[in-house]
C-alpha cells in the first residue's frame, strides 16, 4: 500500500512538472512584429461628441441647496485632442461664495465598446464614469462614481439632452454609495457662446 501511495505521489509530481513546463514555455516573451500592428480607424462613435465642441455658458439650479447656493453658473470649453480620439474640456462653476474649476477627458473604449470619461477639479475631487448615447432622443446618460463636493464618496449620473446645436439641457442626480441618501440634484442649461 505504501508503494502504491508513492507511485501516485510521483505521478502527481510528474504531471505537475509537465504542466508547469508547458505554462512556462507559453509565457516566453515573443518578438513584437510591428509590421502587423497598424493604427486603427477613429471609432465612428466619437462623432457623437461633436455637439460638445466649442465654448459654452451655463446656468443651473441646485434644488436641494440652501438659498444662497441654489443658483449656479459657469462656463465650459471642449475641444478635440489626440487626432479627435479624445475630447478634452475645462469647466468653471460658481454659486455664492463657492467656486471650483474642473478639467476632463471623454473618449470611446475600443474593446469594452463604451464611452468613458474622467473629470478632476481644483478641490482635488475626481469623477469617473461611463456614458450611453441615445441617438433617437439625442440624450447622453453619464453614470459616475466620485468624491462629491462635500468630500465623501458619491455616485450618480448626468443626463444631457441636445435641444439644438447651441442648447443643451442637463440634470444631475448624486447619492451616497448604493444610492442610500440623495446628496445633490441640479437642473440647468448650456448655451453656446
Flag whether 27 is in a domain.
no
Q: What is the largest CA-CA distance in the chain?
A: 88
Flag whether 126 is in a domain.
yes
Flag whether 89 is in a domain.
yes
From CA 85, how far away is CA 39, in angstroms rounded? 12
Give the cell for residue 88: 478634452
Q: Which residues pair with 101 in a beta bridge?
A: 92
Flag whether 21 is in a domain.
no
Flag whether 128 is in a domain.
yes
Q: Which CATH number do you get for residue 114?
A: 2.40.128.20
| Number of domains within the chain | 1
Tens-of-pLDDT digits for all 193 residues of the chain? Answer: 555 565 567 777 777 767 666 666 666 788 999 999 999 999 999 999 999 999 999 999 999 999 999 999 999 999 999 999 999 999 999 999 999 999 999 999 999 999 999 999 999 999 999 999 999 999 999 999 999 989 999 999 999 999 999 999 999 999 999 989 999 999 999 999 9
Flag whether 9 is in a domain.
no
Residues 6+ away with beta carbon under 8 Å from 173:
156, 157, 159, 182, 184, 185
Q: Which domain holds residue 76?
A: 44-192
Flag whether 180 is in a domain.
yes
Amino acid at each position: 500500500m505504501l508503494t502504491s501511495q508513492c507511485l501516485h505521489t510521483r505521478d502527481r509530481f510528474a504531471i505537475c512538472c509537465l504542466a508547469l513546463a508547458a505554462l512556462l514555455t507559453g509565457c516566453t516573451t515573443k518578438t513584437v512584429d510591428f509590421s502587423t500592428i497598424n493604427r486603427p480607424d477613429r471609432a465612428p462613435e466619437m462623432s457623437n461628441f461633436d455637439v460638445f465642441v466649442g465654448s459654452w455658458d451655463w446656468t443651473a439650479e441646485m434644488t436641494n441647496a440652501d438659498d444662497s447656493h441654489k443658483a449656479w453658473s459657469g462656463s465650459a470649453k471642449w475641444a478635440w485632442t489626440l487626432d479627435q480620439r479624445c475630447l478634452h474640456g475645462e469647466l468653471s462653476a460658481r454659486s455664492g461664495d463657492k467656486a471650483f474649476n474642473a478639467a476632463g477627458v471623454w473618449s470611446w473604449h475600443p474593446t469594452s465598446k463604451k464611452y468613458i470619461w474622467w473629470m478632476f477639479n481644483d478641490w482635488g475631487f475626481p469623477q469617473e464614469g461611463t456614458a450611453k448615447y441615445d441617438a433617437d432622443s439625442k440624450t447622453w446618460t453619464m453614470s459616475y462614481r466620485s468624491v462629491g463636493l462635500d468630500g465623501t464618496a458619491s455616485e450618480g449620473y448626468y443626463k444631457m439632452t441636445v435641444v439644438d446645436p447651441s442648447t443643451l439641457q442637463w440634470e444631475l442626480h448624486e447619492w451616497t454609495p448604493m444610492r442610500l441618501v440623495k446628496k445633490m440634484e441640479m437642473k440647468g442649461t448650456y448655451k453656446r457662446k
